[in-house]
Structure 1
Amino acid sequence: MKRISFVMLIAVSMFILAACSTGSTGERTVTMTKAELLNKVKGGWAGQAIGVTYGGPTEFRYLGRMIPDSVELRWDNELVTFFYDKFPGLYDDIYMDLTFVDIFEKEGLDAPIESFANAFANADYMLWHANQAARYNILNGIPAPESGHWKNNMHADDIDFQIEADFAGLMAPGMVNAAGIYADRIGHIMNYGDGFYGGAYVAAMYSLAYVYDDVYQLVIDALEVIPAESNYYKCMQDVIAFHKQYPDDWKKAWQAIEDSEWAIDLHCPDGINSPFNIDATVNSAYVLLGLLYGEGDLKLTMDISTRAGQDSDCNPATAAGILLTMQGYDSISDYWIDPIKPVEDRDFAYTTISLNDVYDMSYRHALKVIEKYGGTVGEETVEIKVQSPETLALEVAFPNVYPSKVTQATPPANRRGKREMLMTLDSDAPVSIEFSGIGLVVRGGLGRDMDEEYVGELEVSIDGKVDRVVKLPADYRKRTAELYWNVEIPDGDHTASLKWLNPVEGGTIGIPGYVEFSNQKSEIEVIIK
């Protein structure tokens, strides 16, 4: 009888270890109660709301520099409600996710990419960078996933999918490769290469956060989904190495990042030769700084990811969301959750979905994904078949494409200042740009105060041959991110001619500058006129 009891004790112990073991990759089974699963789902979404609010007032105000300790980061019971009421666009990294969550809700787990792309492109909210370029592409006949490809989107390496990939990990608890499937389906709508990998890595960390209790190991193991040959992987590995080198000083690690190649944006037209950097790699680096040096403390995690600068609302939102998926909603102290509670039943701007709604939706989607990938859903518990991370295919955006020369009007004193124009079109008389190399990006757009229904047409010729006619919607929501972009021109000296085909009286097309590209990496020449 004693022997039987001992054997049974060993068997029960092994079951508990298999069910609860965290912090390592490998095929295994994890059992948790449905209440625990919901608690983690809620933690992930609430964490995003807390993080984006915490960093919101600093977004892109500190470029290439840390937010000093002397700058107080506000948090109080009125802050979240204030932003909901006055600046609801702050929560774009959440309501963007909700577009995709809503499609899964309406069409199921196998919803096609076209459904996500069309919902995203036709939504009422404003977009920027890779998202806006993708929207423009979709509305003008370039469907997903080509809409996010670097040949069609100069922002393919930007942060966009990184800040809206949370849903993919939250709906795939412990099933990191399933999270990758959902990330792949949606992430290529707006990004490619390192820009896509930013979202894929975030989704992997969310997914593994359900079954891990060690943040450091989570960061390491989730990175297995990213190809080691990619720049994104190399950047994340550098951050991990800097953490080992400076284990007690995140600011030294930040400086090491700033001194590296990852702090230089080579392709976003707004970031070339500018301290502004919206590239996925460096902003993911700041997410990792928070996770690694925060050591499981919510405030420290958010504070570091915020004070690292650049996209300093989205980065703490990502870090806090991952951490609180691991720790659960019920772990959040009153200090942090009390300001969230008054808005949990309020719909996010441009949606009919609240936090309470998405808690329930993501939870139900997670149950479906658990069953789809071999797990079981019982009355009170779920059994998750934890997946070993599989590496995604290698994709490289802008291979051998480097900015060589920037020509621009005198820039404003800050990003919110009035821009001077290098040249202006106000009739059908063409303007010319002499350039050399393999590519040209012309920045600019229609002037203000034009009829929203108006769509301009800009004919761009290269060396006397029409390359394309660019549609220029006056509706800001449908605008083009750049006037012209092409980085696949035969190497040589060229002349670009820009002609406004359908000018309107009193209207203008402003060009603040342009960027030339080469197939050789070199120091960027800068011309200010």
Structure 2
Amino acid sequence: MRKMCLLLIVLALAAFGPAPSPKKRTPGSVTMSKATLQDKIKGGWAGQVIGCTFGGPTEFKFNGTMMNEYQPIPWYDGYIKKTMIENVGLYDDLYMDLTFVDVFEKKGLDAPVSEHAKAFANAGYMLWHANQAGRYNVLNGLKAPASGHWLNNPHADDIDFQIEADFSGLMSPGMPNTAVQIGDSIGHIMNYGDGWYGGVYVGAMYALAFVNNDVNYVVREGLKAVPAQSTFYQCIADVIKWHDQYPNDWKRTWLEIQRKWADEVGCPDGIFAPFDIDAKVNSAYIVLGLLYGQGDYTKTMQISTRAGQDSDCNPSSAGGILGTILGYNKIPAYWKQGLKEAEDIDFKYTTRSLNDVYTIGMKHALQVIERNGGKVAGDQVTMAVQTPKAVRLEQSFPGHFPTEKRAINKDLTSEYTANFEGNGFIVVGDTRPKAQMGSYEYESNYVGKLEVYVDEKLVETASQPASFTRRRYDLTWSYKLPSGKHTVRLKLLNPDSEHTVRLRNLIVFGDKPILARY
């Protein structure tokens, strides 16, 4: 009977949450040489470049499906340099990080979020999803954290800060709470809720990777920084649980992730579509690679990439975290082939190369260590190691569930009216020059002025720049409407014969999932 009771307790723990962290504990302080610290910082930054380069060709080409082993992914000597020169936009994982690193370098570690927001919003690079929505908000006078809040940003739960938060952990060796604090205000420029938690988690794992070489510990302990009530925590806890149940079958865990967590609620591009840029799902693929890779760099790269979706960003994060654990010198030579040839190349839109970042990263890390109870003495560095503490609870889109995705596919020449039933909507579309309709990027000084009426009440007059870097990612949206029947009317105040405001879809939200109606 006693054995039966113990068995039931074990089964209950396995069913309702991740297994406890391993008994191995990180001491209250860790001392290492400056050379070791520098090696780990280099491993973190280089690992990002390796992962981003490796996964680049497959990015969002395997949505809702995994890439099987029979399909090769290229990797050869000279490939990193070739990609950095010929496919500069691939490295948004890096040049986005460096925007904030550069502000810290020029303005100091106490630089206000306004400086980061200004640098981010006015940078020359192209942006998408939560980043572009946040940029638009900042350029149009909405400050952080409002610029990333889900009421002002339909992409609040997207992956954006998750792919940019590496800098916070690499500045905070052994100090996950400090990493989270550094990234808090910056992450809210473009994200909120699960979108912010993606960066919280990644930053915490990087910080812990300096002081513990057990990838299982880093994954589990880092999750303590995220509140257990959040859907982000619950998703990652499930991945840890499924890994415990199926320790030799990453594809089984992938299937469980897909079955339970693949439904998109926020990002319009992923609603009722296999595309999924949600932070928690892509973070699940980072964890998938780390847990099933078990410290093997090749397995980690392969699994986090072959899981699909944002398959350059996910191996970039996994590769950076594992690179920090191992250190630069212990990243296998196979993965560093050709890297030295690329380390002096400035990332596009920056004046910083990898070699620059290695140096600046070390400088910032030493400053943060000394600010937070650590000590730098001669060639030795002592870090006051922190136990992660859960941040505040935020949850985007509560009580909002997609119920309809209605195709419009017409140009707005004067007015458009639609009736719907629900508690929110998004009108998906864009404004661009007619002469550049087939172009991936476009520039123009034209700014459409769009009046938006809900139930015949003017709710906003939205600027619609015909510029790819300044565009409003979605034309208009509104949440938290009273549940029921509504009318949305759009009125273009300044139509122009050389530009088009294209209406693509109307997405409708209700207060219950569709299946709950039956």
Deviation track 1:234-257 (CA, whole Å, cap 9, x = no partner) reads 000100011011110101111111
Decide whether the 8 Å contact of 1:406 with 1:524 is kept in 2: no
SS at match of 2:420: strand
State the Cα deviation string for residues 72-118 of structure 1 (Å, max 9, x = none).
01100121122112110000011000000001111111110101011
Structure 1 residue runs of 4 or more that deviate by more than 6 Å after TM superposition: none
CA drift of 1:23 comes to 7.9
Give the conservation status (yes or no) of the 8 Å contact 2:448–2:466: yes
Q: Which residue identity lines up with residue 422 of structure 2 in the other structure?
A: G
Q: Which amino acid aligns with 1:110?
A: D
* Distance in 2 of aligned mates of 1:239 and 1:106: 40
1:439 aligns with 2:424: yes
1: CA distance between counterparts of 2:134 and 2:25?
A: 35
Partner of 2:13: none
Tell me if 1:237 matches 2:234: no
What secondary structure, in the 3-state scheme, does the structure 2 residue paired with 1:76 have?
Answer: coil
Match of 1:295 in 2: 294
2:446 counterpart of 1:454: yes
2:44: which partner in 1? 44
C-alpha spacing 1:273/1:190, structure 2 compared with 1 (3 Å): same
TM (norm. structure 2) is: 0.92
Residue in 2 aligned with 1:108? 108
Work out whether 1:487 is the aligned partner of 2:479.
Answer: yes
Is structure 2 residue 494 aligned with structure 1 residue 502?
yes
Using the TM superposition, name which of 26-35 and 319-328 deviates more: 26-35
Aligned to 1:412: none
1:505 Cα offset (Å): 1.5
The offset of 1:25, in angstroms, is 5.2
Report the Cα distance in structure 2 between the residues aligned to 1:255 and 1:352, rounded to whole angstroms: 42
CA deviation string 1:103-159 (max 9, x = no partner): 111111111010101100000000000000000000011111110011100000000
Alignment of 1:304-319 (within 5 A): 304-319=303-318
Give the secondary structure class of the aligned counterpart of 1:513: strand
Contact in 2 for aligned 1:27/1:387 (Cα 8 Å)? no
Q: Deviations over 1:236-295 (max 9, x none)?
A: 0100011011110101111111111x1111110000000000000100000000000001
Trace 1:398-417 onto structure 2 (pairs within 5 A).
398-408=397-407
- What corresponds to 2:12 in structure 1? none
Alignment partners' CA distance in 2, 1:172 and 1:368: 9
Q: What is the rounded CA distance, in whole Å, between the counterparts of 2:237 and 2:483 in structure 1?
A: 35
| Per-residue deviation, 1:401 | 1.2
Question: Where does 1:143-162 land on structure 2 (aligned, <5 Å)?
Answer: 143-162=143-162
What residue in structure 2 maps to residue 180 of structure 1?
A: 180
Tell me if structure 2 keeps the 8 A contact 1:175–1:386. yes
CA RMSD of aligned residues (A): 1.5
Measured against aligned partners, the alpha-carbon deviations of 1:382-405 in whole angstroms (never above 9, x if no partner) come to 011001111101111111111111
- Whichever residue aligns with residue 424 of structure 2, its letter is G
Spell out the pairing of 1:24-423 with structure 2 (5 A cutoff).
24=24, 28-260=28-260, 262-408=261-407, 421=409, 423=410
Conservation of the 8 A alpha-carbon contact between 1:129 and 1:160: yes
Q: Deviations over 1:29-59 (max 9, x none)?
A: 1000000000000000000000000100000
1:23, 1:55 → 2: CA distance?
34
Q: CA deviation at 1:335?
A: 1.7
State the Cα distance separating 1:507 from its structure 2 match. Answer: 2.6
Query: Using the alignment, how far apart are the partners of 1:462 and 1:60 within structure 2?
Result: 35
Q: Which amino acid aligns with 2:83?
A: F
Equivalent AA in structure 2 for residue 66 of structure 1: M
Distance (whole Å) between structure 2 residues aligned to residue 331 and residue 444 of structure 1: 47
Equivalent pair of 2:432/2:444 in contact (CA under 8 Å): no
Q: Distance in 2 between matches of 1:521 and 1:24?
A: 43
Render the CA deviation track for 1:1-25: whole Å, top value 9, x for unaligned: xxxxxxxxxxxxxxxxxxxxx9855
- Structure 1 unpaired stretches of 5+: 1-21, 410-420
Instruction: Specify the SS of the correspondent of 1:433.
Output: strand
Paired with 1:25 and 1:393, the residues of 2 have a C-alpha distance of 25
Q: 234-243 or 507-516, which moves further after superposition?
A: 507-516
1:424 is the counterpart of 2:407: no
Distance 1:155 1:440, change over 3 A: same
* 2:401–2:513 Cα contact (<8 Å) kept: yes
Aligned pairs, how many? Answer: 489
Following TM superposition, by how much is the alpha carbon of 1:491 offset from its aligned partner in structure 2, in angstroms?
A: 2.0
* Contact preservation (8 Å) 2:432, 2:467: no
The answer for unaligned runs of 5 or more in structure 2 is 1-21, 437-442
Cα shift at 1:343: 1.0
Any idea what SS the aligned residue of 1:173 has?
coil
